[in-house]
Structure 1
Amino acid sequence: MASITRMSGFDAGFLYMETPSMHMHTLKIAVLEPSTDNTFDTLVEKMTERLRLLPPMRRRVVPVPFALHHPVLVTQRRIDPERHFFRHDVGGAGTMRDLEQLIGRICSTPLDRSVPLWELHLCEGLADGKVAIVGKIHHALADGLAANAMLANVMDVSSTDLRASVRGEDHDGVDDPSDSLLVRHALRDGARQLLDLPGLLATTARRLRAVLRYRRGMDARVPMPVRDAPRTSFNGPLTPRRTFATVTLPLADLKRARAAHADIAGLTLNDIVLGVTSGALRRWLEEHDEHPRGSLLAGVPVGLDANDIEPRLMGNNVSNLFTTLATDVDDTGARLRAISTTTRHAKAINERLGSSLMDWSQFAPPAPFAAAVRAYSRLRGARFHPAAFNAIVSNVPGPRERVKIAGAQLADVFSVGPLTEGIGLNMTVWSYMDRMNFSLLACPDLLPDVERLAAHFPAALAELLDHPDDSAEARAESAADDQESA
């Protein structure tokens, strides 16, 4: 990788979107088994040694004078540990809930843009002797797939070895470029970029025609952002505060729920995740006497290069599909069928659109874009209209076997992305071995009891399992699935 690289418009957009109340970092939480090596000094030493395996963690964002073009990423010669590594005592009884409350506070502050955009927080004092490492990394540097690849790069397990060309980088970093050099290169890159415009126009028109043709032939309706999103209490202007909660469900039970609904053609494990999320939200809404005018909508991030053989360690290559959570459907089977059918069509539309929005973001003018977002946030614009959708729901496959990180045994891993204006709830799922770990991030001024929402997930899964098709044949199919996955 080059020592100085231009950020794509899509990556830089996460910088422009950041405001005092909308922090665009993601969280990765690794819970480690008790070990004499789980010390702060060891964490700093071992992670510093492995920085060459984690390219985004060596890059600092350098803006272009007068915002003539998107910023550049400059590889740093050295990293100052005092700016990136932090130590905390969980306190209280050292429970998981104490850790979650600490993580909420860690998430409530933005990253320092004068250094590479990441932090590692060692959280000690858990009652069972475990420790947690909370990683904050800016979304501009890596999406969920890139973060997963970086995690694989620091795992001590042979089956996650990556190709030598991907595992590391050999350059030592460079000095920050001069303003005159940044301006010259910005003008040059901007002129070259204009040459791509005719081709992008033609490609976008072709993709939109394909989407329109597909929509005309659909046997179901895919919801439209904003127009079809009902208002809820957790959709509104954000404040800087964040709260965090987790819940873990057995992967085998989610697979068994899929087998129990085998009559739904094309049902996927991700549909089950959406179904469980829907059931939990229905319970929370009922508990708070909220009755939205229609089904809640989910924005589901989808990696456009998820099937690529070569892992990607930096940047974003992700789109969003919009689907129903069918929270207005009482019957469990009908609700899951609606989710599965709508999501299937949403995926097909998303595939036809491809990277259109990402490609156009390259032409977004940095200064006006950032100024518009800040003004919208300052004026609390999200109160004047329905949100684009109601909640973010993401599902990223994690390690399928027991692993170590820098010599320490990984007990569990959690992850969650940021909140965006108008959307005060993000639910991200990372699998680890035989379980699915749900992480919930909320703005407490919109959703004050995120731990109560998390508590409804087991009952929502039980509801999917309590189905007439959960026969011996269905259970046998689920068992065969588990054996094949193993």
Structure 2
Amino acid sequence: MDASFVALETRNSPMHIGSLLIYNPATAPGGFVRFKDILAFFESRMQLSRTMRQRLVKVPFDLDYPYWVEDPDFDLEYHVRHIALPKPGDWRQLCIQAARIFARPLDLTRPPWEFTIVEGLENIEGVPEGSFAMVTKVHHAAIDGMSGVDLLEALNTLEPDAPPPDTPDTWQPERIPGAPELLGKSYMSALTNPFKQLEVAAKAAPGLAKAIKGLATKDFKVSRDMIAPRTRFNKTLSSARVVEGRSVPLADIKAIRILAQDSKVNDVFLAIVGGALRKYLLAKDDLPDRSLTAMAPISVREKNEKGDMGNQVAAMVAQLGTHIDDPAERLAYVTSKTTNSKAMTNAIGARNMTEISKVSPALYMALGAQLYTRLGLANRVNPPFSTIVTNVPGPPVPVYSTGAKLESHFGLVCLTDGMGLGHVVQSYCDEATISFTACRDLMPDPEFYSQCIQDSFEELRDASRQANGKTAQPRSGSAKTSSAKTNKPSAVKPKKPASKTAKKAAVRTAPAKKSPRKTNPVKTATKAAAGKSALKIAKPKTAKPKAARKSGAAAKKATT
């Protein structure tokens, strides 16, 4: 699976994932953080993540999967960059910069990651004065959602004044293998691959038999509803991106489950996305009669695989109920469909799906991906699903980087031809963010879609309160028509900025507030000398902000 993300890489579809993080330096020593402090902090923790100093080496003619080697030319200052927003430093400018950063492909001749520090966040509602952002990009070949959380944990601490890790740094660079050596490895791999295929087939056979039995006994159903209708998002992509998102209280999400028996938190998020897509496409007069579907990744990573590189994920397809207007009915529909999809996935075996991908011929995979893009098949072939909704649980407690507290966390997702819109649900402390990445040509009005997410959440929240006999709170704006895209985002709140003075605190109310959007524009690398960097984030003059809610020697082969 790792190799498939390398094969799918194109200029218009870079295969990296990432996040937009907002940090408040009030908890750092002296109340500020300099860029050289960030460099020193990251350098002291490189040994905690295998991802940081390994690069890919491709086999000539794609005769085998790429290999991971320890980069002999690793340079931390190439990977950690520093920019500032232009005045007045508002939310829209942060989103634009983040989107530009995220749209640019990574250099795959180096370890495939970049972190861009963004200062100048001076006029974003809900963001404490002096805060800074970090836009992260890591190639999907190196991490999945859960290993991305592991990376986040490696580069953050549980206390603002935590000492450096006592884990010794035994890292050693490796020689980059030449073409003859790589071809020799691919030859040996070709000899053993048939045996691996037989082994995987033997492991998958019981799951296949169980799936056939499940169909016969009607433990689950395969229906026409699983076929995704085409929408404006299922076309070839340009290189431009937009990003946005909203923050919602986790307590409200859990309370909404009362509307549908056996519904899970993930079902609620799927129903929110379904309602948002319904509103957006209705405004565009482009809503299909049948329900849109979402691919929902499922982590099959074991506890003993924590920290391992690569991807350990399978997937299920979930119907979003976009054809249903009533929010409670939509949640009940989504819950019934996800229950069916989970039963099917469990029958086949989620890990079996992942193992099968590891023995797919690398050459065929690369050729297939290139043909799909060059022939423009995304404009002619129905998509297997309408969008992506990935749910990644984040830290349940506050974390700190260089002493600065993480206030908000928005996920960013890669897109491919035929899949021009993706969502990430990320929890952190007592909040969750629902963020999205889209092709700008297919969604030129991200603020409007963000408001659709807000409205969809509030409809479900109000319905759950009425079911509990509580009074629904006033809505925070309404996305009635696409003209709303010209409006300034109403409440750009990444997290509850804790402030002891009610005046500037902006404590979150029940309705989800707009949080700092994740954007990831990769600004041209400005190599900042560790001693001279200018990121000096002044200590906030207001009361201390409240805790924001969280939202070796041999080359290692990248399995497909």
AA partner of residue 210 (structure 1): K
Residue by residue over 1:281-310, the C-alpha shift from the partner in whole angstroms, topping out at 9 and shown as x without a partner, is 1111121122213101011011012x6365
Tell me, in whole angstroms, the C-alpha distance in 2 between the residues paired with 1:375 and 1:184: 27
Q: Are positions 1:395 and 2:391 aligned together?
A: yes
CA RMSD in angstroms comes to 2.6
Please state whether the residue corresponding to 1:467 is helix, strand or coil.
helix
Unaligned runs of 5+ in 1: 1-9, 476-486
Measured at CA, do residues 474 and 315 of structure 1 come closer, stay the same or move farther in structure 2, by a change above 3 Å?
Answer: farther
Structure 1 residue 54: Cα displacement: 1.8
AA partner of residue 193 (structure 1): N
Structure 1 residue 441: Cα displacement: 0.1
Which of 88, 97, 102 in structure 2 is aligned with 1:107?
A: 102
Which of 5, 12, 17 in structure 1 is aligned with 2:3?
A: 12
Please state whether the residue corresponding to 2:263 is helix, strand or coil.
coil
Measured at CA, do residues 169 and 210 of structure 1 come closer, stay the same or move farther in structure 2, by a change above 3 Å?
Answer: farther
Measured at CA, do residues 437 and 133 of structure 1 come closer, stay the same or move farther in structure 2, by a change above 3 Å?
Answer: same
Please state whether the residue corresponding to 1:301 is helix, strand or coil.
strand
AA partner of residue 134 (structure 2): I
Q: Are positions 1:28 and 2:19 aligned together?
A: yes
Contact in 2 for aligned 1:325/1:339 (Cα 8 Å) = yes
Please state whether the residue corresponding to 1:88 is helix, strand or coil.
strand
Residue by residue over 1:410-460, the C-alpha shift from the partner in whole angstroms, topping out at 9 and shown as x without a partner, is 111111221122011011011111111111100011121122111122221
AA partner of residue 150 (structure 1): L
Aligned pairs (5 A) from 1:414-453: 414-453=410-449
Q: Are positions 1:149 and 2:150 aligned together?
A: yes
Residue by residue over 1:118-165, the C-alpha shift from the partner in whole angstroms, topping out at 9 and shown as x without a partner, is 111111110132111111000000001001011112221179x9xx99
Aligned pairs (5 A) from 1:241-390: 241-258=240-257, 260-261=258-259, 264-305=260-301, 308=303, 311-353=306-348, 354-390=350-386
Extract structure 1 runs of 4+ deviating beyond 4 A. 219-225, 468-475
Contact in 2 for aligned 1:142/1:314 (Cα 8 Å) = yes
Residue by residue over 1:36-64, the C-alpha shift from the partner in whole angstroms, topping out at 9 and shown as x without a partner, is 54332222222122111121111110112
Contact in 2 for aligned 1:278/1:326 (Cα 8 Å) = yes
AA partner of residue 141 (structure 1): A
AA partner of residue 316 (structure 2): L
1:6 corresponding residue in structure 2: none
AA partner of residue 382 (structure 2): P
Tell me, in whole angstroms, the C-alpha distance in 1 between the residues paired with 2:25 and 2:198: 58
Measured at CA, do residues 65 and 291 of structure 1 come closer, stay the same or move farther in structure 2, by a change above 3 Å?
Answer: closer
Which of 108, 125, 130 in structure 1 is aligned with 2:120?
A: 125
Please state whether the residue corresponding to 1:175 is helix, strand or coil.
coil
AA partner of residue 139 (structure 2): H
Tell me, in whole angstroms, the C-alpha distance in 2 between the residues paired with 1:93 and 1:367: 50
Please state whether the residue corresponding to 1:321 is helix, strand or coil.
strand
Aligned pairs (5 A) from 1:448-463: 448-463=444-459
Structure 1 residue 471: Cα displacement: 4.8
Measured at CA, do residues 200 and 387 of structure 1 come closer, stay the same or move farther in structure 2, by a change above 3 Å?
Answer: same
Structure 1 residue 403: Cα displacement: 1.5
AA partner of residue 244 (structure 1): V
Tell me, in whole angstroms, the C-alpha distance in 1 between the residues paired with 2:2 and 2:71: 19
Structure 1 residue 394: Cα displacement: 0.8
Contact in 2 for aligned 1:220/1:341 (Cα 8 Å) = no
Contact in 1 for aligned 2:2/2:142 (Cα 8 Å) = yes
Q: Which moved more, 1:317-326 or 1:201-210?
A: 201-210
Tell me, in whole angstroms, the C-alpha distance in 1 between the residues paired with 2:323 and 2:192: 50
Contact in 1 for aligned 2:39/2:77 (Cα 8 Å) = no
Measured at CA, do residues 223 and 101 of structure 1 come closer, stay the same or move farther in structure 2, by a change above 3 Å?
Answer: farther
Tell me, in whole angstroms, the C-alpha distance in 1 between the residues paired with 2:281 and 2:241: 20
Q: Count residues in correspondence.
A: 458
Measured at CA, do residues 432 and 13 of structure 1 come closer, stay the same or move farther in structure 2, by a change above 3 Å?
Answer: same
Q: Are positions 1:61 and 2:56 aligned together?
A: yes
Contact in 1 for aligned 2:79/2:115 (Cα 8 Å) = yes
Measured at CA, do residues 196 and 364 of structure 1 come closer, stay the same or move farther in structure 2, by a change above 3 Å?
Answer: closer
Tell me, in whole angstroms, the C-alpha distance in 1 between the residues paired with 2:303 and 2:359: 26
Contact in 1 for aligned 2:296/2:390 (Cα 8 Å) = yes
Contact in 2 for aligned 1:100/1:246 (Cα 8 Å) = no
Tell me, in whole angstroms, the C-alpha distance in 2 between the residues paired with 1:169 and 1:320: 36
AA partner of residue 240 (structure 1): S
Q: Which moved more, 1:204-213 or 1:167-176?
A: 167-176
Tell me, in whole angstroms, the C-alpha distance in 2 between the residues paired with 1:269 and 1:417: 21
Structure 1 residue 23: Cα displacement: 1.0
Tell me, in whole angstroms, the C-alpha distance in 2 between the residues paired with 1:472 and 1:375: 54
Residue by residue over 1:21-42, the C-alpha shift from the partner in whole angstroms, topping out at 9 and shown as x without a partner, is 1110001222111355433222
Aligned pairs (5 A) from 1:29-108: 29-34=20-25, 37-108=32-103
Tell me, in whole angstroms, the C-alpha distance in 1 between the residues paired with 2:408 and 2:76: 25
Please state whether the residue corresponding to 2:89 is helix, strand or coil.
coil
Contact in 2 for aligned 1:234/1:425 (Cα 8 Å) = yes
2:536 corresponding residue in structure 1: none
1 or 2 for the larger relative contact order (CA 8 Å, sep ≥6)?
Answer: 2
Structure 1 residue 78: Cα displacement: 5.0
Please state whether the residue corresponding to 2:285 is helix, strand or coil.
coil
AA partner of residue 15 (structure 2): M
1:175 corresponding residue in structure 2: 175
2:111 corresponding residue in structure 1: 116
Structure 1 residue 87: Cα displacement: 1.8
Structure 1 residue 240: Cα displacement: 1.2
Structure 1 residue 470: Cα displacement: 4.3
Tell me, in whole angstroms, the C-alpha distance in 1 between the residues paired with 2:33 and 2:73: 24
Which TM-score applies when normalising by structure 1?
0.88
AA partner of residue 115 (structure 2): L
2:516 corresponding residue in structure 1: none
Contact in 1 for aligned 2:49/2:307 (Cα 8 Å) = no
AA partner of residue 276 (structure 2): A
Aligned pairs (5 A) from 1:232-247: 232-247=231-246
Contact in 1 for aligned 2:60/2:179 (Cα 8 Å) = yes
Contact in 1 for aligned 2:3/2:66 (Cα 8 Å) = yes
Measured at CA, do residues 209 and 224 of structure 1 come closer, stay the same or move farther in structure 2, by a change above 3 Å?
Answer: farther
Which TM-score applies when normalising by structure 2?
0.77
Contact in 1 for aligned 2:243/2:435 (Cα 8 Å) = yes
Tell me, in whole angstroms, the C-alpha distance in 1 between the residues paired with 2:336 and 2:433: 25
AA partner of residue 452 (structure 1): F
Measured at CA, do residues 22 and 334 of structure 1 come closer, stay the same or move farther in structure 2, by a change above 3 Å?
Answer: same
Residue by residue over 1:98-122, the C-alpha shift from the partner in whole angstroms, topping out at 9 and shown as x without a partner, is 2111111111111111111011111
AA partner of residue 190 (structure 1): A
1:481 corresponding residue in structure 2: none
Contact in 2 for aligned 1:55/1:169 (Cα 8 Å) = no
Please state whether the residue corresponding to 1:150 is helix, strand or coil.
helix
Measured at CA, do residues 371 and 219 of structure 1 come closer, stay the same or move farther in structure 2, by a change above 3 Å?
Answer: closer
1:187 corresponding residue in structure 2: 187
AA partner of residue 15 (structure 1): V
